[in-house]
Amino acid sequence: MTTKSATKTKPSAATAEGKEFIISRVIDAPLERVWKAWTDAKQLKNWWGPKGFEIVSTKVNLRPGGIFHYHLRSADGQDMWGKFTYHEIVPQKRLVFVVSFSDEAGGVTRHPLHEKWPLTILSSVTFAQANGRTTVTVRWIPVDATKVERETFEDGRESMKAGWTGTFDRLDDYLAKA
């Protein structure tokens, strides 16, 4: 089954600007388990987010136009909210969504620690299985970003790499225990 959004809601290549940030990880788990970990709210609550953050809540409406809305809390008690707005869902192959920081109600907000960070980022996550393991590849690119926001994104590559590495580590740990 392939689920796709209406063309008018999917960001176009014309609105996504700059050089993509790409990171991959081979997960020692079959595709079906990895896909469920990425798409089920109860499972996301067990691993989503960078190391050092508690996942307080997750809500998932997995459909084009639906959202994944999450609440994280840092070790020092700072609350952060974020969301994905799903645009394309191809089961066990690809998720395409726009990711942003948000408020408790789901409204798009600026990064709580960096006001020049792009407001929205187009994210494409692909899944490929080989020999009982799953390769997950994440691609990020700013959407409708200002020049300053694109420059901030470029300057943030090491931070993005560290954040995604920690998130993938959490996914590995979760799937090893599940």
DSSP string, 110-130: -BTTBTTS-S-EEEEEEEEEE
Q: For the beta carbon of residue 48, count every other beta carbon within 10 angstroms.
A: 21
Look at residue 6 in the predicted model and tell me its pLDDT: 37
DSSP for 34-69 reads: HHHHHH-HHHHTTT-S-TTEEEEEEEE--STT-EEE
pTM flag (> 0.85): yes
pLDDT number for residue 17 = 66
Residue 68 pLDDT exceeds 60: yes
Mean pLDDT of 99-120: 94
Structure tokens that stand for 112 in this block: 């709580």
Question: How many other C-beta atoms lie within 10 A of the C-beta of residue 146?
Answer: 13
Residue 57 is predicted with a pLDDT of 94
Is the four-CA dihedral 143, 146, 151, 153 of positive or negative sign?
negative
pLDDT digits 0-9 by tens, 28-65: 999 999 999 999 999 999 999 988 899 999 999 999 99
Q: Which domains does the chain have, with CATH numbers?
A: 21-177 (3.30.530.20)
Positive/negative CA dihedral, 85, 89, 92, 94: negative
Residues 6+ apart with CB under 8 A from 88: 3, 4, 5, 10, 64, 94, 95, 96, 97
For residue 112, the model assigns a pLDDT of 87
Look at residues 60, 26, 37, 24 and name the one whose alpha carbon lies nearest to residue 178. Answer: 37
What is the helix (H) or strand (E) element at residue 158, kind and residue range?
A: helix 157-177
Burial of residue 13 (CB within 10 Å: 0-12, 13-18, 19+) is: exposed
Q: Quick count: other Cβ atoms within 10 Å of Cβ 148? A: 12
